[in-house]
Structure 1
Amino acid sequence: MKIVLNFISIVLLFLCLYLQNTEAVLSVNATPEYVHPCRKSDPELNECIKATLNHLRPYVLQGIPEINVPSIEPLIIQKMQMENGHGPVKMRGIFSNMTIHGGGNYTILSVKSDLNKYRVDFGIHLPYIEVTGNYDVNGNVLLLPVRSRGEFWASFTNVTAVAKLYGIEVTKDGVKFMKTDRLGIGFKLQKPLFRIKDVINRNNVIGEAMNVFLNENANEIIEEMKPAASQAIGKHFKNFLNTAFLQIPLKVWLKDYE
């Protein structure tokens, strides 16, 4: 019996340590340095939220271990899927092992909020984004069948985006939080450049022709793929935002929240 009790004690200890590492919820009385708090009653609430998001930039660059938020420079995305079934570009793509540089250099340009409905829209600017990773795509471009798999590199300049965040209130252990329920993303960018290393059409004219085609028609292809890309990006960043939102009580960043 003593051995069994000792074993149970050890298991409970490990469970406690595990929960401490995964649930890094802040106290409602905390005001960590990375939080620039606002008040719902502030007539300049939108400007305050904008300042809060810009204030976060150096902290998310490094990551915030206290609430399990990883660094966004570089941003690592293990897998992202997108599919476009309409128009001249019909394509299904799986992108994996993606490394994104430049996301930490964001600037929040504008904020429009209605925190009674947990709704926040914000405009973002990124001077330059560079992405590397693996891809696997198949589909049709202008009625021509496309099948390609390998490594890719892409860069984008002067990226502007509008994010529409739809939140809901959730309660954990009597403490209220805002959770991202939906996140819509719309974006514009300039000077897209692509380079692929196709392992299916390796070392032949088809592989090189695809590189030429991608760059000569980059704007048109991006325009066709925007809805699918926006959906995939919104899904990823919804999860990323909730990593933080569900660790920071509403009372911490909205000081007059009741």
Structure 2
Amino acid sequence: MQFMNILSVIIIGVFGNSLAAIHNSTVPPYVHQCIENDPEIEKCAIVALHHIRPYLKAGIPEIEMPKVEPFRIDSLSLALTTGPNGYKITLRNLDIFGASNYTIKKLKLSKNGSPVEAKVHFPKMKIDAKYTSSGVLIILPASGNGTFHADFTDVYALVRVAVSHFERDNLNWYNADKMEIDLKITQAHMAVKNIFNNNRILNEAINLFLRENGEEVIRIMMPQLRTKLAGVFKKIANQLLKHVNLETFLKSA
């Protein structure tokens, strides 16, 4: 169904953080319309998703869409070494930057009820968070608080979205039933500051650990990060879809 295909593509934009509009006679400036039954609808959908990027960065108050620079994740908890005094860290209030600067590399539209898939590239993303740790790192007691910063380069995401359709007031509406995100981070640099009253030795030990074990830290972080991101963007998608119908995005040939 062409309606299902187009809406599914629009929801993929929610990962990179959404495409939405209020149904009225005037097409808002942040919407790039596509033509119904266009044989190259995928290309138009990609143009539409790229068109909205600057609006996503600042937010669109009239449709209750907050700015996505940054968006926030509540927490991630990581057990980085084993044993009774294993080194554990908790990151709280993670502000994530760079989500509006995305490129849709490939789209696979829904067929026979299968999820739509999109491959998305983010050139750079960064995270600022509050940091808490406990346990022993090498031979040092590593309990303390501070700040955490991460720079990610060339982040690739594979997004899968399952949607359902319903009609209301003779218009077509949709719901994001399930969203899954797989991530690949090509390069990462992570560091902490101001640990335990700016204890220099502990700061240096933790940063050395993060430099030498960055891939392992990312591997441990990834399952939670995927789940948290999918939850955040699914919630945003369904909040937006309360205000959005398919007819806003499609026009007759």
Question: What TM-score results when the alignment is normalised by the length of structure 1?
Answer: 0.74
Structure 1 partner of 2:183: 187
1:60 equivalenced with 2:56 (yes/no): yes
Identify which of 150, 155, 158 aligns with 2:151.
155
Segment of structure 1 superposing worse, 106-115 or 29-38: 29-38
The 1-side partners of 2:200 and 2:191 are apart by 15
**Are the equivalent residues in 2 in contact too, given 1:198–1:207 (CA < 8 A)?**
yes
- Percent identity over the alignment is 29
Identify which of 214, 217, 239 aligns with 2:210.
214
Equivalent residue of 1:105, what SS?
A: coil
Equivalent residue of 2:45, what SS?
A: helix
Q: Deviations over 1:120-179 (max 9, x none)?
A: 21111111112212133558989x996553211110111111111122224556643222
Pick closer, same or farther for the CA change 1:221–1:179 going to 2, 3 Å. same
Instruction: Map 1:166-245 onto structure 2 (within 5 A).
Output: 166-171=162-167, 175-197=171-193, 199-200=195-196, 202-245=198-241
The 2-side partners of 1:185 and 1:51 are apart by 22
1:33 equivalenced with 2:29 (yes/no): yes
Structure 2 partner of 1:95: 92
Structure 2 partner of 1:76: 71
The 1-side partners of 2:117 and 2:87 are apart by 30
Pick closer, same or farther for the CA change 1:27–1:140 going to 2, 3 Å. farther
Which letter maps to 1:76?
F
Which letter maps to 2:123?
P
Identify which of 123, 127, 131 aligns with 1:135.
131
Question: What TM-score results when the alignment is normalised by the length of structure 2?
Answer: 0.75
**Are the equivalent residues in 2 in contact too, given 1:108–1:124 (CA < 8 A)?**
yes
The 2-side partners of 1:101 and 1:46 are apart by 27
**Are the equivalent residues in 1 in contact too, given 2:89–2:133 (CA < 8 A)?**
yes
Equivalent residue of 2:154, what SS?
A: strand
Aligned length: 229
The 1-side partners of 2:214 and 2:197 are apart by 20
Shift of 1:191: 2.5
List gaps (5 residues or longer) in structure 2. 1-19
Shift of 1:90: 8.9
Structure 1 partner of 2:110: 114
Rg bigger for which structure?
1
